[in-house]
Amino acid sequence: MYEQFEAIVVGAGSFGAWTALELRRRGRRVALVEAYGPAHSRASSGGESRIIRMGYGPNEIYTYWSMRALDLWQELFARTGRPLFHGTGVLWLGRSPDVDPYNSASLAAFELLGVPHQTLSRQELARAYPQVFLDDDVSWGLMETRSGVLLARRAVAAVVERAIREGVQYLQAVVVPPSLDASVNGRLQAVETAGGPPIRVGGDGVIIFACGPWLGKLFPDLLGERIFISRQEIFFFAPPPGDSRFAPPALPAWIDLAHEAYGMPDLESRGVKAALDRHGPSFDPDSGDRLPSRQGLDDTRRYLECRFPAMRDAPVVEARVCQYENTSGGDFLLDRHPAFENVWLAGGGSGHGFKHGPAVGEYLTTRILGAAPAEMRFSLKTKLAVQRRAIF
C-alpha cells in the first residue's frame, strides 16, 4: 500500500518530471509514476539530443517560454554539476519575407523580447559557413546566439534525480485507464495500477497525466481522435575524418523550413544529426516498428548531401525511430479533464515540446494552485479532430 499524496504525476518525461519538481517546490507531497523509466527509449523525451530554440514566428508565447525554459535548464545543470547543454547557436536559413514570413516574424519577436541574435546576409552566410551549400532560395540567416542543444535523455534523468533529492517519491508502475465510474463528487481519488495497489490522493489532491503518446490510450473517448501519433525517423551521419567543419563552433544547429528539415552538428563525436520535420505515418508507441526505413534514410540523405556537399556518401552511425504526439494545430494540451475536477492533462508536445518542460511545469503548477489565468491555446476545446499544423 502506497502512502497518500497531494499530487500524482503520471509520466516521467520532460513535462511530467518538471511538473513533479515544481509541485514539490511548492510544498506538495508528490508521487511521480512511470511505467518504463525516465526518458526511456520509447518516450517522446527519449533520445540523445533536442534543439532548444526561441524562433516561433508570430507565436510569441513559445519564444518567451523557451527563454524561461533555457534559464531553468541551465540552473538545474549548474546545481547538479552536469553540463547537459551545448551552446551551439541555432541558425535559421531564411527566404524572402514574401514567401517566408515565419522567420521575419521570429526576428520581430526577438527584437521585442530581447532574444540574443544576429542576422546574416547571404554573403555573410557564405563566408561564415562555407561548408553549407546555399541554394537560390536562401537569402538570409537568423542566428540565435544563445540557443543550442539539450542532451535530452540525460537531462530528464537529471530532473528526476533532482526531484527525488527534493522529496518527490518515484514509483515504477503501469497505470491503467481511469473509469468515469471512479469519479466521487467529480473527483478521481486514486490512480489504478496493473497488478499493484492504487496510488491515492488526499481530499484536495490532484492527478496530472503527462503521458505523451499514451494519453490517447489512457483517455480514448476524450483524446483518441485529438492526439495524432506520427512515426519520425532521425539519422546521425559520420563527418569526413579529420574534418572539423561539422562540429561546434564551426557549425551550429540549424533549421531549414523550406525543406522541412533540421539538424545538429557533430556533438560528442556521435555524428551530424539530421531529420525531416514532416509528420510521418500513424504510429503505436507500444507495438510500432522502430527500425528506420530505407525511404526515410534516402530522403534524409538526399537533403543532407544537398545542403552539405562534403557529407556525400557519409556513413550512418546511428538511427532512431521515435514519435510525435501532435495536436491538431501543434499547440500543447495543458488543461483540466472535463469529467474530473482534480485531473489535469499535459501533452501534445507536437515535436517541439521537450525544451519547454520547465515552463510547462511552472504553468501547470500555477494553474493547479489557482495563481494564473488559463491560456486558451492550451485548452482542450481548441484541440480538433482534423490536423492543420500551425506551430513549427
pLDDT in tens, 4-14: 999 999 999 99
pTM: 0.97
Q: Band of the pLDDT at 90, cuts 50, 70, 90?
A: very high
Give the C-alpha separation, 383 to 245, whole Å. 43
Give the C-alpha separation, 227 to 220, whole Å. 10
**Residue 208, CA distances (Å) to 10, 42, 106, 281, 322 in order:** 6, 20, 32, 28, 23
318 φ, ψ (degrees, to nearest 5): -165, 150
pLDDT computed for residue 3 by the predictor: 83
**Where do the domains of the chain lie?**
5-46+153-226+329-382, 86-148+228-325
Q: Note whether 72 and 170 are within 8 A (CB).
A: no
**Residue 178, CA distances (Å) to 115, 189, 213 in order:** 43, 10, 16
Domain 5-46+153-226+329-382 has CATH 3.50.50.60: yes
Q: Tens digits of per-residue pLDDT, 155-195?
A: 999 999 999 999 999 999 999 999 888 778 899 999 999 98
CATH class, domain 86-148+228-325, is alpha beta
Cis before residue 58, ω within 30 degrees of 0? Answer: no
